[in-house]
A and B are shown apart, each in its own frame.
Chain A
């Protein structure tokens, strides 16, 4: 029983990390119906910027998360300005996707040349403190991940539902042309979506750095799961994405416990393919059927 509870906690921690990455993908998909493969490298660069802030300059870990948030936002702005904005006019569906694969390969190998393939030891000051209750435990770092993630989701919700910009973003997601007719500038909002999504990714990177192995490929291992999450949850759907992220986190921790870590990707992607076969609109279906 204690094992099951412990794995449930571990799964929730992983889910809280994945949800930040997956929500970014879903926000971008919502406004642009495009996938950003380079999202993975924004996660990795967020992790590295926090690492160098903490271990290079000697800054605190919590401000380090803020640094990664800002770095991610800047990268998102650059990504939109350099790749997505110029390609938007062409109206081809696959070209932007292929371009982001190119950007991702470039960034990954540039980081590999710069930082080397040897994993960095990113120590969080909170990794060694443990909170115990009953037979289970959670490190303070993991508790931090869950609370930061929950807080971020709450703020994101408030932003989307309460502020004008958030409402405008949802309007653009629902119908770009009509939103433009109502005086909303879609190009500006797409930029905002990219900045918000990438800032979340950078922040996720800073928090997963101490949990996973920090190498130039750290983001890639997360992003494939994030892709699975957004599809299982339904692209462009917030609630579905959050639910699917927790589900994938739990699957990962229980698969590690009962089937071995080698089976994680097989189980997650088998679930993805099954979902695509029987319910391609995701767990919570939305009126969005152009891809299925």
Chain B
């Protein structure tokens, strides 16, 4: 008498296994963040590390609205720019302390995301893509032309880094040090990852995926699609706005060209190359597409071609991005290795 396969044990294993694995992965990621600036000691690579962390935040934000809720938002560059300009102007013009300005700017870009999402409620697919593109164009032009406020193409210079944090009993943490600034930005990127991971593993994640897959069916199940789209856009633009605040205090200068529409395409490339609809994918895509062009710096202008070629090839051949490629490879490699031994 052969016993049937133990069907019931499977879900239990799924529930415990990955959770335990995930905790280890989070610890490993935190360890990597702690160790990286110690390995990369020169200013050039530490700068690149900070750019990686900023791009990871932007890509995570876009992925939440594109990969999970299925809304193609080409306005991410606008939220990035609004966060950067709002925080800088609050600090330099209104004299507000950094962290309060940070909170204000993040709230402001979140609010802008909610405004754009009001269009997303009515529009779908291509119409939303163009509406969000229009939103990005308008924001860029306002930053460029409102010279009395933003100094237009001349830019804002000498933006101070975040103020030092003095915790009792510890040495003062200065953020004019690139390593400390990296810890700050990467810490926030990590925090965004954890928060988004929490959201996606809650019923909210399934709700958003349902809207992505079929809006009509989702609505027929009693899901308020409009409200959830507003939520997804709000979360996404909040994360992008936070990245913008750090960008301003990290680079020290602000010009509108940093937030041109092409920046949205760059962020989109990171999400697509990494793998839409996963959280680890966009982070990987952000790191790859930040580091790869730096390594290819000696080929000059052609390095930006890398972005375009990467996106096109990924969409055509591995639409799931790096995540899908790794999954396919890890499924095939042991088999090939076994065949090699035999």
Chain A residues at the B interface, C-beta cutoff of 8 Å: 29, 33-35, 83, 86-87, 90, 92-99, 101-110, 112-113, 224, 227-228, 231, 235, 260, 262-263, 265-266, 269-270, 272-273, 276-277, 280, 290-292
Contact = CB atoms under 8 A, between A and B. Distances in A.
B315 A102 contact: yes
B319 interface: yes
A109 B301 contact: yes
Interface residues of B, number: 44
Nearest to B273: A102
A94 B311 contact: no
Given A109-B305, A265-B137, 14 more contacts: A90-B319, A99-B316, A101-B311, A102-B310, A105-B307, A105-B311, A113-B300, A228-B130, A269-B134, A273-B119, A276-B123, A276-B127, A291-B123, A292-B122
Contact of B315 (A87, A112, A276): A87
A108 B269 CA distance: 15
Contacts of B135: 269, 273
A106 B302 CA distance: 9
A35 B129 contact: yes
Given A93-B125, A99-B315, A106-B309, A227 B130 contact: yes
Contact of B125 (A110, A273, A291): A291
A265 B78 CA distance: 15
In the A-B complex, the 4 residue pairs with the closest CB atoms: A106-B308, A102-B311, A105-B308, A102-B312
Contact of B265 (A95, A101, A228, A231): A101
A272 B309 contact: no
Contact of B268 (A98, A112, A231, A269): A98
Interface in B291-342: 300-302, 304-305, 307-316, 319
Contacts of B315: 87, 95-96, 98-99, 102
B305 A101 contact: no
Interface stretch (B45-53, B141-149, B161-169, B221-229): B141-149
B126 A291 contact: yes
B126 to A, nearest CB: 5
Contact of B305 (A113, A266, A292): A113
A34 to B, nearest CB: 8
B301 to A, nearest CB: 4
Given A106-B312, A224-B137, A291-B124, A273 B305 contact: no
A290 B124 contact: yes
Contact of B123 (A35, A95, A280): A280
Contacts of B311: 98-99, 101-102, 105
Interface of B: 66, 70, 72, 119, 122-127, 129-131, 133-135, 137-138, 141-142, 144-145, 261-262, 265, 268-269, 272, 300-302, 304-305, 307-316, 319
B94 to A, nearest CB: 25
Contacts of A35: 126, 129-130
Majority DSSP secondary structure for residues of A touching B? helix
Contacts of B272: 98, 102
A173 to B, nearest CB: 15
B305 A106 contact: yes
A276 B122 contact: yes
Contacts of B313: 102
Nearest to A272: B134
Contacts of A269: 134-135, 137-138
Contacts of B145: 260, 262-263, 266
A93 B133 CA distance: 17
A68 B246 CA distance: 46
A130 B316 CA distance: 50
Given A98-B268, A102-B315, A292 B310 contact: no
Contact of B308 (A107, A270, A280): A107
Contacts of B269: 102, 105
Given A98-B315, A102-B312, A113 B301 contact: yes
Contacts of B268: 98, 101
A138 B130 CA distance: 34
Contacts of A93: 125-126
Contacts of B129: 35, 94, 97
Nearest to A260: B145
Which interface residue of B262, B268, B307, B308 has the most chain A CB atoms within 10 A?
Answer: B308
